[in-house]
Amino acid sequence: MKGKEEVELSRDMGLFQVTMIGIGAMIGAGVFVLTGIAAGIAGPGFILAFFLNAIIAALTAMAYAELGSCMSEAGGGYVWIKKSLPNPFGFLSGWMDWFAHCIACSLYSLGFGAYFVILLRMAGVNLGGIDPGLLIKIFAVLVCVFFAYINFKGAAQTGRAESIVTMAKIVILAIFIGFGVLAIVRSGDYTNFTPLFPEGFGAVFTAMGLTYIAFEGYEIIAQAGEEVVNPKKNIPRAIFLSLLIVLPIYLLIGFVSIGAIHIEGIETYVYLGQSGETAMVEAAKIFMPAGALILLIGGLMSTVSALNATIYSSSRVSFAMGRDHDLPEIFGRIHRKTRTPHISIFISAAIIILMAILLPIEDVASAAGIFFLLLFIGVNIALIRLRKQMPDLDRGFVTPFVPFIPLLAIFAQIFIAAYMFGYSPIAWYTAFIWIGIGILAFYLYPAKKEREEIESMVVYEEKEIEKKPYRILVPLANPETVKDLISLASIIAREKDGEILAMSVIKVPEQLPVSSGKMFIDEKKPMIRDAIDACPPDVQINTLIRVGHSIPKAITETAKLRNCNLIILGWRGWTWQQEGIMGSTIDPVVTHGPSDLLIVKFRDFEPEGIKNVLVPTVGGIHASFALEIASIFKGIGGRIRAIRIVGNADEKKKFTVEGGVKIELVKASSVKEKLIELSKESDLLVIGATEEPLFKRLVVGVVPEAVAREAHCTVIMVKKYEKKVIPILKRWLG
């Protein structure tokens, strides 16, 4: 198996630059391009839509601040979802994230085209009778090409350009707000704000979905993670600063746009809606000296700054996917001179241009909003999952009240996304088509195996002599349990005519390439040699050492790539984690493992001394698998005692289950205490995994793990692999 070094981008962005990138991405779509359209949909209530969107965005911003501070990789939300959820969810998150940024760029480029055409007309430029709609598309294409080149030239230049444009834009908006507030105060007329919801309150939800893209700039901050100096502190700061700066600007722009103009014979909000993406210019003409020209300049600055930042982020997503081999490797290449992902930049620009040409601006905005909502839903799920899977990460910001805060964000985003179908079915059809293409790409992409291998690499391996039909993977971490693990695996391998694959994992920090772990091979070799020595001569054993950023991922990848039928893990009986069940290594393997699983808590384990095997059962596939494993010990003289603990039963009554095994009914008020008591007269206890959902397990705990901690004999907890997605989701969520 061939491993490849992980690619990292250089860090050259400070707090100011990365904050300006986030602000630049936000101020553009929400203010200049979509203000008029949103006003036409919801009336004065569109101001409330901005405020409610800010609240929902702030909930998800906490997730981005936390995860961005401790996992500052190019790719942002895509990387976090990929780490926390099994494929194809991880792949699809990146696929949607990439397209969301591309289609957002299309929106900004169309806004630029509309403003630039008006500017040319004001300057008296002869447009030669060319259709204005066609001119808008042409200028949209040209500006995309220009900023693709700016991004290609390097991240530092990108940051400087963004900072200059964004500061100038804020000054122009401040002038617009100042004249607007002055006009409202002078007139003393606030009738434009009544009724507040002329199109009904439901129109506010539509406006929220349309303008939600206005708050996606903090996602772009996370995309820049690998290039930010001191990301642990600067990413959370930049995220919250950008939101705090942008929200009052949005609210004030909406306030003066509605309140500062009065058009005879037509409602102000209707007038703004008819003006569409150029509504800000039309409003400025009325209450501001040289307002049209100033706002045109501001609109152009806003759209190009948002375009610049979003081309940057879209290329980072595809770069991360190429680096992880979710997309062809060419996407993950870095230009030798500029040190930017040049292929990703230019391919992303091509998609942006295509969407700008094909779709109307309203549907482009709606589709972008839907994709970002879906992405943010995934990030909130990732936050909940990663709190359990990686509790030891050094987080620069910690989201309070998890899982309640992210769950609130998830429900709100699902509602808004679903509500958008009534406004723009085309946007949802576009989403379905892109996701469908992504699913096909995931399963048909010829480098799928290479994609699965990229998380870790094999650096040492004893070659197998012959391949057996049944393979048992035994990860080794504790030298004191090596002999016991191999002895147990040998008993099962002998019964199954199988072989053992003993492995050890070298973990390296996320900041280092996987290949850097080669220097630690010698530390793991003694444990590998102990495994070979502990294996009986009649059982075949193969060994390997794998290097990876994540021990559980290295285990599950090995099981998948080597087609292992069974994984046997040792458990010390306790964990440092405050959250979770059995620890940050075992819990993810339980959830994502592609094979049957045994988790063993050893206590005076002597295979030849196993005479009494206790098997508690309540039915189900895991209980049946427990009986199957227990029956293997019959071959070495073990006697199986299968029991079912009930609250009220005749202890002498027995009944037969599959395979002729008799289940004894045992009366007890506490399952846990009874099993611990019975373990005193047993040499081995084999117990099936609980069928309870993961949420309940995390909150109240479960019997198998509790018994394993306190039992007086060796305990084997077994879990039968289930291929279907629905049972897995059922266990996660209940």
pLDDT in tens, 476-491: 989 999 999 999 999 9
Whole-Å CA distances, 19 to 29, 51, 237, 524: 17, 21, 8, 44
Q: Which residue has the tokens 């997730």?
A: 63
Which amino acid, one-letter code, is at 52?
A: L
Is-contact 281 296, C-beta < 8 A? yes
Asked whether the predicted pLDDT for residue 642 surpasses 50, the reply is yes
Q: Tell me the average pLDDT across 667-674.
A: 83
Tokens of residue 603, six digits:
């206590």
The pLDDT confidence band at residue 698, using thresholds 50, 70 and 90, is very low
Distance separating alpha carbons of residues 524 and 504, to the nearest angstrom: 7
**pLDDT for 278:** 84
Asked whether the predicted pLDDT for residue 727 surpasses 70, the reply is no
Peptide bond into 195 cis (omega under 30): yes
Q: Could you write out the DSSP letters of every residue in 235-253?
A: HHHHHHHHHHHHHHHHHHH
Q: Tell me the average pLDDT across 117-134.
A: 83
Report the chain's mean pLDDT, rounded to a whole number.
Answer: 81
The pLDDT confidence band at residue 6, using thresholds 50, 70 and 90, is very low
The pLDDT confidence band at residue 210, using thresholds 50, 70 and 90, is confident
Q: Tell me the average pLDDT across 302-325.
A: 76
Distance separating alpha carbons of residues 683 and 606, to the nearest angstrom: 9
Tokens of residue 647, six digits:
């609250």
Is-contact 610 683, C-beta < 8 A? yes
Q: What is the DSSP letter of 470?
A: E
Asked whether the predicted pLDDT for residue 60 surpasses 90, the reply is yes
At 4, give phi and psi (nearest 5°).
Answer: -130, 145
Q: Would you give the distance in Å from CA 141 to the centre of its chain? A: 31
**pLDDT for 465:** 53
Is-contact 563 595, C-beta < 8 A? no
What does the pLDDT look like over 493-525, one tens digit per residue? 999 999 999 999 887 644 344 554 666 788 888
Asked whether the predicted pLDDT for residue 40 surpasses 50, the reply is yes
Buried b (16+ CB within 10 A) or exposed e, 436-468: eebeebbeebeebeebebbbbbbbbebebeeeb
The pLDDT confidence band at residue 449, using thresholds 50, 70 and 90, is very low
What does the pLDDT look like over 217-227, one tens digit per residue? 787 787 666 56
Distance separating alpha carbons of residues 268 and 265, to the nearest angstrom: 9
Q: Are strands 596-601 and 470-476 parallel, antiparallel or unpaired?
A: unpaired
Among candidates 691, 641, 634, which has minimal Cα distance to 663? 641
Is-contact 158 164, C-beta < 8 A? no
Distance separating alpha carbons of residues 579 and 565, to the nearest angstrom: 29
Is-contact 545 523, C-beta < 8 A? no
Asked whether the predicted pLDDT for residue 463 surpasses 60, the reply is no
Among candidates 93, 139, 48, 110, which has minimal Cα distance to 306? 110
Asked whether the predicted pLDDT for residue 262 surpasses 90, the reply is no
Q: Tell me the average pLDDT across 577-604.
A: 78
Is-contact 198 269, C-beta < 8 A? yes
Q: Which domains are present in the chain?
A: 15-391+400-449 (1.20.1740.10), 473-499+549-733 (3.40.50.12370)
Give the DSSP H or E segment for 665. strand 662-667
Lowest-confidence region among 6-20, 93-107, 267-281: 6-20
Give all strands (DSSP E) within 566-691, no chain letters: 566-570, 596-601, 612-616, 639-646, 654-656, 662-667, 684-688
Distance separating alpha carbons of residues 380 and 73, to the nearest angstrom: 17
Distance separating alpha carbons of residues 212 and 204, to the nearest angstrom: 12
Higher pLDDT among residues 688 and 3, named by residue: 688
Q: Which residue has the tokens 């036409």?
A: 40
**pLDDT for 325:** 77
Is-contact 592 556, C-beta < 8 A? yes
Helix (H, G, I), strand (E, B) or coil at 511: coil
Distance separating alpha carbons of residues 734 and 720, to the nearest angstrom: 18
The pLDDT confidence band at residue 530, using thresholds 50, 70 and 90, is very high
Which amino acid, one-letter code, is at 373?
A: L
At 634, give phi and psi (nearest 5°).
Answer: -60, -35
The pLDDT confidence band at residue 697, using thresholds 50, 70 and 90, is very low
Asked whether the predicted pLDDT for residue 405 surpasses 90, the reply is yes
Q: Tell me the average pLDDT across 75-82.
A: 76
Beta bridge partners of 542: 501
The pLDDT confidence band at residue 734, using thresholds 50, 70 and 90, is very low
**pLDDT for 360:** 82
Residues 6+ apart with CB under 8 A from 335: 152, 341, 342
CA dihedral 599, 604, 607, 613 (to 10 degrees): -70
Q: Tell me the average pLDDT across 163-181.
A: 87
**pLDDT for 534:** 92
Buried b (16+ CB within 10 A) or exposed e, 289-328: eebbbbbbbbbbbbbbbbbbbbbbbbbbbbbbbbbbbbbe
Lowest-confidence region among 88-102, 114-128, 282-296, 639-653: 639-653
**pLDDT for 169:** 83
Asked whether the predicted pLDDT for residue 553 surpasses 90, the reply is no
Give all strands (DSSP E) within 519-611, no chain letters: 540-548, 566-570, 596-601
Distance separating alpha carbons of residues 156 and 193, to the nearest angstrom: 44
Which amino acid, one-letter code, is at 430?
A: T
Higher pLDDT among residues 143 and 152, named by residue: 143
Asked whether the predicted pLDDT for residue 691 surpasses 70, the reply is no
